[in-house]
Amino acid sequence: MRMVKLLRGLAHRLVLLASLTSIALSLWLLAVFAFFEETAEEFTIGLRPAQFYQELNDDDLDDTQRKNYAPIFGIAHNSGGAVAATLEALVYGADVIEVDVVSLDGRLYSAHLPPTPFPFIGVRAFRGPPLERIWTAAGRADVIKLDLKESSPEFRDLLFAFLERYRGSQQVLVATRNVPTLEALAARAPWVFRLLSVADEGTLSTLQSNPDLVTLIDGVTIYDPLVTTETAAWLTQLELFVAVWTVNDLDRTNELIEYGVDAITTDNLAIIALLSGQGQGESRLVRPDQQRPQGSSSPSATPSPQATNSAHANRILVRHTRRSTSTGR
């Protein structure tokens, strides 16, 4: 009898503990949604892109200087976080729509972080756009850049299935800091361009000391404060594609272009417009061993005459003959 009472008492305590935990979690969620707008937004729609338009002091640029912007990719930072932001970036001439990619309940979504640390909440509350919706909206972009926020085997399987389904519909850059994912991309989706995400000195040092990693990748997407003249020179000497994030002012943009980088990732739509090629045409991604002399139908390591006149010769960014258009991009 005494044992039964003890068990009942323990059961009551466990029920009480579960109830209090549920109440505390509910109150926490209410507080988050009521007082922490950005966190709540992350939980439910994946955090809206921070796009803005700020006028540039570019009146003193002559035609020659403006032409220097044309070979540079303009990457609209996290513009794939919402369909409206994707379309707005394209209106301003974005070369690349950047999409942060996560998974939820067996499906890929656009979001900066996986939707909440509590999966059962995420399934019910998350309202971020599915990746295929953003992919469709970005159809006018020259390139789509997928910035992977996960690296589990299950996530990779979803990614490869998606890439295979949409193979050939778009040029694709895939960025990750996870080396096994880069290796899997090389084996299972060799048609995409592989970028190592370099967010800190440690990752940069690893790259500099690892020739096999350099061989594995097509380029890097690197945090702006890490980019010095020496770092840029080393990366470009290796014929790696170099995209820098996040750059929102013209002076730093000009400095990085002088360093020889290939792409600028920005929230500022005025910079996107400046880098858009002035409505003259499209960009193409070509690996060095795939470049062909003009008029040739077979691959050649020899760059085309146009490429040899460019600071970006033998790099994966090649801008082919430009389309003429009366309505811009």
Residue 135 pLDDT greater than 80, yes or no: yes
According to the model, what pLDDT value does residue 278 have? Answer: 47
Model confidence band, residue 177 (pLDDT cutoffs 50, 70, 90): very high
Residue 272 pLDDT greater than 80, yes or no: yes
Q: Return the beta strands (E) in the chain as ranges.
A: 73-76, 96-104, 107-110, 143-148, 171-176, 193-198, 219-223, 241-245, 263-266, 284-285, 317-318
SS3 readout for 184-195: HHHHHCCCCEEE
Residue 248 pLDDT greater than 80, yes or no: yes
The mean pLDDT of 278-300, rounded to a whole number, is: 51
The mean pLDDT of 4-22, rounded to a whole number, is: 70
277 or 270, higher pLDDT: 270
Domain ranges of the chain: 2-35, 63-318
Instruction: Tell me how far apart the alpha carbons of residues 242 and 49 are, in angstroms, rounded to a whole number.
Output: 22
- What count of other Cβ atoms lies within 10 Å of the Cβ of residue 139? 12
The pLDDT tens digits of the residues spanning 25-40 come to: 556 455 545 554 454 4
Report yes or no: 102 and 114 within 8 Å, Cβ to Cβ. yes
According to the model, what pLDDT value does residue 64 have? Answer: 73
Q: At what angle do helices 37-44 and 2-35 cross, to 10 degrees?
A: 110
pTM for this model (two decimals):
0.76
- In angstroms, how far is CA 67 from the centroid of its own chain? 25
- In angstroms, how far is CA 56 from the centroid of its own chain? 24
Instruction: Tell me how far apart the alpha carbons of residues 263 and 279 are, in angstroms, rounded to a whole number.
Output: 17
Give domain 63-318's CATH superfamily: Phosphatidylinositol (PI) phosphodiesterase (3.20.20.190)
Residue type at position 123: V
Report yes or no: 45 and 127 within 8 Å, Cβ to Cβ. yes
Q: CA 48, 277, 254, 209: dihedral to nearest 10 degrees?
A: 80
The pLDDT tens digits of the residues spanning 41-91 come to: 444 555 567 899 999 987 777 777 777 888 899 999 999 999 999 999 999
